[in-house]
């Protein structure tokens, strides 16, 4: 049977991203840099919206999770204690002819996929980027670019507990860059060497860990659904015993159906007491928790939901992508959830007429105080709608000659292409309601998917 893949080809997404300003190859005028990408004007908005919605769900709307931002460079002992220096490795084989390196676990034969040359025996390769602190490049000044944000939260466990006066169960959340010298990066922003993570370390009493693992698996799975990912494109997969990381007691992946098949979007692991025990041992500081209510002392277990911002952005883009025939033309549209859409409202005067433009500008200046708004008066109205469809703008507001007479404008909804006429004085309020999913004449696609 053929492998399951999503209906959208990756090339279509890559091309749309370049054309409309979501994602560009990094340092492109110099020929780019392998697997590094830059987020353009609408890409950066999408990414910010993903991060804001995550932060809102896991910090702002909860009593039991606080945020931090730890530094990318950490004391190198952190990576010894965490096991990254010894075991953050992939077995690699090298082609004896073209010298390309491959992940041994990803090959189906013992020949080089590029040139069919003979391969070496597997060799372990550490995935951490090494660098030097200070002016002297010597072994004692070696440090690493963090390969995950997690360790910043483990080593701050005691600081955060004291400063925020929390009791278990409680969590620390962080969003930030991570770096891995991946051997086989690829599939656009799915696997890169520099990426951004959104991680929670949730500290619990041993014995309650199974309950909390289950809780976070459900919570995180639903986060994607609530932001418009289709249920049939998302699944949970429990790791087999031989697949788990060295620290994990149990682990689930939230997987998305990417163009190359099902692949991890987020991992949710029960890390047991591994991290705090290791850091206590290596730092000499006690990381034991004292439960005031029961008088017990113990090392907390940790449940870790760990997601990638870039992978999420890719999944949201793929899932939203659609091509359909509209008025005899092919329409490319991103049915992004309004909360994620880079631009919420586009203001479009019917033409550059000297009477229409001032009114349109006035409406634009007013609306942009409330929403990310774009003003566009170049080319025909049809082309402007298509441009906004392609970046997933949920609403276009059109100002025409009648508007000058009746003080009304037209709102066009992206998904249904339905148009309604509303008074300018009510525009802000109506758009607010529509962006929250209220006041629709026809159900928009993202709202239907959430049901």
Binding site for ligand ATP (CB under 6 A): 148, 180, 182, 191-192, 195, 197, 264-267, 306-308, 310-311
CB closer to ligand ATP out of 266 and 275? 266
Measured from the CB atom, the residue of 52 and 182 that comes closer to ligand ATP is 182
CB of 253 or CB of 273, closer to ligand ATP: 253
Q: Which is nearer to ligand ATP, 310 or 415 (CB)?
A: 310
β-strand pairing of 250-258 with 37-39: unpaired
DSSP state at residue 73: B
Min dist. Cβ of residue 4 to ligand ATP (A): 18
Of 293, 233, 291, nearest in space to 265 by CA: 233
Nearer to ligand ATP, 94 or 266 (CB): 266
Q: Least separation, in Å, of the C-beta of 308 and ligand ATP? A: 2
Minimum distance, C-beta of residue 79 to ligand ATP, in the bound complex (Å): 14
Radius of gyration for the alpha carbons in the chain, expressed in angstroms and rounded = 25
DSSP helix/strand/coil, 305:
strand
Distance of CA 121 to the CA centre of its chain: 36
Residue 327 has what DSSP assignment? T
Residues 78 and 151: their CA atoms lie apart, in Å, by: 7
- Tell me the residue number closest to ligand ATP, measured at CB: 308
For ligand ATP, the closer of residues 6 and 197 by Cβ is: 197
SS (H, E, C) 403-429: HHHHCEEEEEECCCCCEEEEEHHHHHH
Closest Cα to residue 337, out of 52, 38, 15, 26?
52
Least CB distance to ligand ATP at residue 179 (A) = 9
Compute the distance between CA of residue 71 and CA of residue 58 in angstroms, rounded to an integer.
Answer: 21
Q: How far is the CB of 286 from ligand ATP (least distance, A)?
A: 28
The rounded distance, in Å, linking the Cα atoms of 254 and 241 is 17
Closest contact distance (angstroms) between CB of 193 and ligand ATP is: 7
Distance of CA 410 to the CA centre of its chain: 34
């Amino acid at each position: 049977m053929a492998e399951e893949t999503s209906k959208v080809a990756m090339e279509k997404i890559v091309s749309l991203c370049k054309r409309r300003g979501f994602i560009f190859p990094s340092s492109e005028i110099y020929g780019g840099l392998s697997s590094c990408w830059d987020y353009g004007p609408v890409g950066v908005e999408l990414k910010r919206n993903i991060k804001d919605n995550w932060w809102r769900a896991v910090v702002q709307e909860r009593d039991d999770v606080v945020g931090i931002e730890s530094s990318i460079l950490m004391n190198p002992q952190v990576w010894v204690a965490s096991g990254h220096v010894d075991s953050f490795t992939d077995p690699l084989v090298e082609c004896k002819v073209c010298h390309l390196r491959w992940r041994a676990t990803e090959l189906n034969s013992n020949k080089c996929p590029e040139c069919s040359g003979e391969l070496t025996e597997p060799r372990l390769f550490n995935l951490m980027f090494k660098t030097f602190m200070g002016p002297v490049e010597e072994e004692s000044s070696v440090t690493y670019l963090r390969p995950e944000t997690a360790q910043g939260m483990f080593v701050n466990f005691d600081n955060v507990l004291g400063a925020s006066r929390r009791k278990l169960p409680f969590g620390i959340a962080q969003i930030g860059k991570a770096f891995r010298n991946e051997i086989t990066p690829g599939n656009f922003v799915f696997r890169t060497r520099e990426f951004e993570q959104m991680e929670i370390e949730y500290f619990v009493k041993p014995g309650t860990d199974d309950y909390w693992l289950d809780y976070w698996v459900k919570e995180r799975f639903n986060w994607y659904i609530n932001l418009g990912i289709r249920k049939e494109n998302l699944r949970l997969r429990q790791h087999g015993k031989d697949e788990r990381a060295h620290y994990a007691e149990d682990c689930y992946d939230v997987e998305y159906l990417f163009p190359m098949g099902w692949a991890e979007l987020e991992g949710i692991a029960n890390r047991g007491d591994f991290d705090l025990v290791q850091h206590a041992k290596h730092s000499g500081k006690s990381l034991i928790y004292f439960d005031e209510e029961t008088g017990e002392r113990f090392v907390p277990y940790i449940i870790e939901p760990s997601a990638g911002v870039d992978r999420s952005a890719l999944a949201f883009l793929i899932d939203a992508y659609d091509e359909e025939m509209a008025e005899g033309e092919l329409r490319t549209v991103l049915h992004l959830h309004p909360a994620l859409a880079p631009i919420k409202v586009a203001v479009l005067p019917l033409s550059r007429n000297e009477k229409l433009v001032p009114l349109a500008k006035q409406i634009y200046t007013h609306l942009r105080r409330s929403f990310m708004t774009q003003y566009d008066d170049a080319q025909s109205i049809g082309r402007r709608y298509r441009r906004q469809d392609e970046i997933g703008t949920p609403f276009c507001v059109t100002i025409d000659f009648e508007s000058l007479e009746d003080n009304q404008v037209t709102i066009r909804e992206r998904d249904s292409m339905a148009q309604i006429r509303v008074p300018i004085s009510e525009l802000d309020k109506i758009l607010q309601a529509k962006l929250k999913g209220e006041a629709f004449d026809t159900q928009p696609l993202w709202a239907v998917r959430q049901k």
